[in-house]
Amino acid sequence: MNYKFLDKINYPSDLRTLSINDLEKVSEELRYYLIETVSQCGGHFGASLGSVELTIALHYSYDTPYDKIVWDVGHQCYGHKVITGRKNELVTIRQKDGLHPFPSRKENEYDTFSVGHSSTSISAALGMSLAGKNSNKNFYTVAVIGDGGLSAGMAYEALNHMGSSDQDILVILNDNEMSISPNVGAMNNYLTKILSSKIYSTVKEGSKNILKQVPPFDKVANKTEGHIKGLFAPGMLFEEMGINYFGPIDGHDTKFLVKTLKNLKKIKGPKLLHVATKKGKGYLPAESDPVKYHAVPKFNKDEGVLKGNNKKYIYSDVFDDWLCKIAENDKRVFAITPAMREGSSLVNFSKSFPERYIDVGIAEQHAVTLAAGLACENQKPIVCIYSTFLQRAYDQLIHDVALQDLDVLFAVDRSGFSGNDGETHTGVFDLSFSRCIPNLIIMTPSCPEICQDMLHTGYLYPGPAIVRYPKESVKELPNKKEFQKIEIGKAKEIIKGKNIVFLCFGTLLDKAKIIAEKYNCSCIDMRFVKPLDEQLIKKYAKVNSLIVSIEDNMLAGGAGSAVLEFLSKEGIKIDFLSFGSKDKFPQHASRDEQLINSNISEENIEKLVKEYMKNNNLLSISDSSNIKNN
Ligand SMILES: Cc1ncc(C[n+]2csc(CCOP(=O)(O)OP(=O)(O)O)c2C)c(N)n1
């Protein structure tokens, strides 16, 4: 494509030199640029295509970066990156040393707020707006949030505050009726009703009379009039909260968006503009299958993303296989997801057991307390949740589940280093933040078979249990007919050697096994982070000179720390080397690259163990024969 306009646009100031009549063409070029680039590098796709016109209109209408645009989640910001100085780097997005997957304050001044987790935009924008007022800066503040993002509690907390304030702040509700999967919930139903209303149909037919449906903008400058408007216009719910509601308008009409935004600038107080968009707009395969095209691998843009012939299984599929087998025979089993049906491999379950499948929307806190309620009445809820999103429900995990010792199983996916989504989505904190919670048991499977047995153990355990597994591929599904119950707190000796013992928590056992075999060391699959197999640790501490702990979690407060706490409590003195995530947020890169970066590759473990032994004059282990002959 000939990028007549885009070639000359590096920053929004370039965009603002154009005539409003050129913007449609700019949008077309930007959309094509996104298709061309993301098909080469992979990444989030549908949401950015759907917000092309919005992106252009916002940067055209506002004096960014002085005026603040706050994107929610940030997966729709690829177009924003392109026109804010990062056009040529877009192709590196999500890769090691490449562009950040989401807006990042560290990366660019137009990225007003670092994001990745959803539903933060209204709170952050309101904070910025209050700061502007307090420092006599008269910048405009706009939060852009999707209908999915609007399903989270945080968004309502922010609207609740915003509606009772007199801050000049605009929320743009980018409504495409999709979360990653189709959006859910009563608010979604309400918004759908608005979009399907007669007023919006009129707009779509091109009359563009929507703004005549309400009193002229300058006449709804105060809340009282806005409130009256709400009585007979769509968006009454927002009006009742003290927020001037406008729309719905067509989010793919750049010119009209610009005119609307310019008008809205004149209106004081908290406002919400409801914009209707199509996820995947302009790329037909993405329009017709928005779930598949939410995020994509590299693909040929003429063919679309092809169905892989040999599907690669990951641990989520191992979970799905176990879950569907168990749910067949136990009607008490509920699977709860906070808007991650596909990611958590719940598609099969949702089809087979629709009455016991619950997608609560992006509502992690509610998901956990809902599970607590189910458990109070003798059901067996399973909270299927990414490690990083469980962070949102920390109080619910402690106060609503663990404190009441309720029978809830947490299937914690994407734990440890979770790869290209980077620092906002890393799962390296869960062992540290859950290990200190009483009543909870925590399991770290080392292979798919054990993973299913652990899920089964957690299922049979009559209290709160976590099984945490990574985003790692597995060769095949275990194909088990029966699942074993594992003795709680029991580790497994894998290799019996001497001098050094590796205590492994999770799938990194594979790396330790190779080194242990090579150097004739001992290797233990610890299996439980809580309770620890203290007897076994004691036994090995007595006869070895070095303990090496290996985990896919922060070193601070993690499983290795648990072992050290135990050794210290017992007064056992022994050299100790721990492998885990450094005190830094893991940057976007593949999971393997992140492991290497944290010194947890096989080579690194071997090298550091050898260095340690050498520096401490404990042993000379130059090669395996040296050890074996001892
Ligand atoms: C707290 C949190 N939970 C889950 C997610 C995973 N997630 C990323 S995008 C998304 C859907 C967002 O839907 P919406 O806001 O409507 O944006 P759209 O993709 O439809 O443009 C979800 C659930 C997240 N980023 N943050």
In this structure, which residue's CA is closest to atom 11 in ligand 1?
A: 179
Distance (angstroms) between ligand 1 centre and the Cα of 43 equals: 14
For the 313-474 domain, the top CATH level (class) is alpha beta
Mean pLDDT of the chain: 92
With a 6 Å cutoff on the Cβ, whether 339 touches ligand 1 is yes
Which atom belonging to ligand 1 lies closest to the Cα atom of 339? Answer: 23
Which atom belonging to ligand 1 lies closest to the Cα atom of 152? Answer: 1
With a 6 Å cutoff on the Cβ, whether 115 touches ligand 1 is no
Which atom belonging to ligand 1 lies closest to the Cα atom of 178? Answer: 20
Count how many residues are written for the chain: 630
Residues with Cβ within 8 Å of 551's Cβ and at least 6 positions away in sequence, in order, are: 431, 444, 504, 505, 506, 508, 558, 559, 560, 578, 579, 580
Compute the distance between CA of residue 421 and CA of residue 295 in angstroms, rounded to an integer: 11
Residues with Cβ within 8 Å of 98's Cβ and at least 6 positions away in sequence, in order, are: 89, 92, 588
Task: For ligand 1, pick from 70, 192, 362 the residue to mutate: most ligand atoms within 8 Å of CB.
Answer: 362
pLDDT (average), residues 530-540: 98
User: What is the percent of the chain with per-residue pLDDT over 70, rounded to a whole number?
Assistant: 92
Q: Is 246's pLDDT higher than 60?
A: yes
Compute the distance between CA of residue 246 and CA of residue 235 in angstroms, rounded to an integer: 8
User: Tell me: domain 492-623, CATH 3.30.420.40, correct?
Assistant: no
Which atom belonging to ligand 1 lies closest to the Cα atom of 179? Answer: 13
Residues with Cβ within 8 Å of 156's Cβ and at least 6 positions away in sequence, in order, are: none
What letter does residue 60 receive in the DSSP assignment? H
In this structure, which residue's CA is closest to atom 3 in ligand 1?
A: 362
With a 6 Å cutoff on the Cβ, whether 279 touches ligand 1 is yes
Domains 313-474 and 492-623 are alike in CATH topology: yes
In this structure, which residue's CA is closest to atom 21 in ligand 1?
A: 47
Question: Which CATH number is correct for 6-296, 3.40.50.2300, 3.40.50.970, 1.10.12.10, 3.10.290.10?
Answer: 3.40.50.970
Closest alpha carbon to 446 in 401, 381, 491: 491
Q: Is 415's pLDDT higher than 90?
A: yes
Amino acid at 452: Q
pLDDT (average), residues 364-383: 98
Closest alpha carbon to 130 in 173, 172, 171, 166: 166
With a 6 Å cutoff on the Cβ, whether 12 touches ligand 1 is no
pTM: 0.94
With a 6 Å cutoff on the Cβ, whether 112 touches ligand 1 is no
Task: For ligand 1, pick from 73, 78, 413 the residue to mutate: most ligand atoms within 8 Å of CB.
Answer: 73
In this structure, which residue's CA is closest to atom 16 in ligand 1?
A: 148
Which atom belonging to ligand 1 lies closest to the Cα atom of 362? Answer: 3
With a 6 Å cutoff on the Cβ, whether 281 touches ligand 1 is no
Question: Which residues are identified as catalytic?
Answer: 279, 364, 392
User: What is the percent of the chain with per-residue pLDDT over 90, rounded to a whole number?
Assistant: 86
Q: Is 224's pLDDT higher than 60?
A: no
Q: Where are the domains of the chain?
A: 6-296, 313-474, 492-623
With a 6 Å cutoff on the Cβ, whether 520 touches ligand 1 is no
pLDDT on residue 68: 98
Compute the distance between CA of residue 606 and CA of residue 555 in angstroms, rounded to an integer: 18
Amino acid at 388: T
With a 6 Å cutoff on the Cβ, whether 143 touches ligand 1 is no
In this structure, which residue's CA is closest to atom 23 in ligand 1?
A: 339
Compute the distance between CA of residue 38 and CA of residue 45 in angstroms, rounded to an integer: 7
pLDDT band at 618 (very low <50, low <70, confident <90, very high): low
Distance (angstroms) between ligand 1 centre and the Cα of 149 equals: 6
Task: For ligand 1, pick from 179, 183, 385 the residue to mutate: most ligand atoms within 8 Å of CB.
Answer: 179
Q: Is 378's pLDDT higher than 50?
A: yes
pLDDT (average), residues 228-237: 63
Distance (angstroms) between ligand 1 centre and the Cα of 171 equals: 17
Distance (angstroms) between ligand 1 centre and the Cα of 490 equals: 38
Q: Is 221's pLDDT higher than 50?
A: no
Helices (H), 386-533: 387-390, 394-395, 430-435, 448-460, 509-518
| Secondary structure, 3-state, 497-513 | CCEEEEEEECCCHHHHH
pLDDT in tens, 60-104: 999 999 999 999 999 999 999 999 999 999 999 999 999 999 999
Helix axes 448-460, 315-329, angle to 10 degrees: 40
With a 6 Å cutoff on the Cβ, whether 361 touches ligand 1 is no
Distance (angstroms) between ligand 1 centre and the Cα of 118 equals: 6
Compute the distance between CA of residue 399 and CA of residue 392 in angstroms, rounded to an integer: 13
With a 6 Å cutoff on the Cβ, whether 54 touches ligand 1 is no
Distance (angstroms) between ligand 1 centre and the Cα of 261 equals: 25
Distance (angstroms) between ligand 1 centre and the Cα of 102 equals: 12
Closest alpha carbon to 59 in 18, 29, 115, 5: 18
With a 6 Å cutoff on the Cβ, whether 176 touches ligand 1 is yes
With a 6 Å cutoff on the Cβ, whether 179 touches ligand 1 is yes
Which atom belonging to ligand 1 lies closest to the Cα atom of 277? Answer: 21
With a 6 Å cutoff on the Cβ, whether 86 touches ligand 1 is no
Distance (angstroms) between ligand 1 centre and the Cα of 330 equals: 31
pLDDT in tens, 453-483: 999 999 999 999 999 999 999 999 998 989 9
pLDDT (average), residues 193-217: 56
With a 6 Å cutoff on the Cβ, whether 76 touches ligand 1 is yes
pLDDT on residue 228: 42
Q: Is 112's pLDDT higher than 50?
A: yes
What kind and span of H or E run contains 607? helix 602-615
pLDDT band at 394 (very low <50, low <70, confident <90, very high): very high
Alpha-carbon distances, residue 63 vs 12, 165, 520, 568 (angstroms):
8, 24, 66, 59
Task: For ligand 1, pick from 121, 175, 180 the residue to mutate: most ligand atoms within 8 Å of CB.
Answer: 180
Distance (angstroms) between ligand 1 centre and the Cα of 279 equals: 12
With a 6 Å cutoff on the Cβ, whether 148 touches ligand 1 is yes
pLDDT on residue 105: 98
pLDDT in tens, 27-38: 999 999 999 999
Closest alpha carbon to 486 in 533, 453, 525: 453
With a 6 Å cutoff on the Cβ, whether 162 touches ligand 1 is no
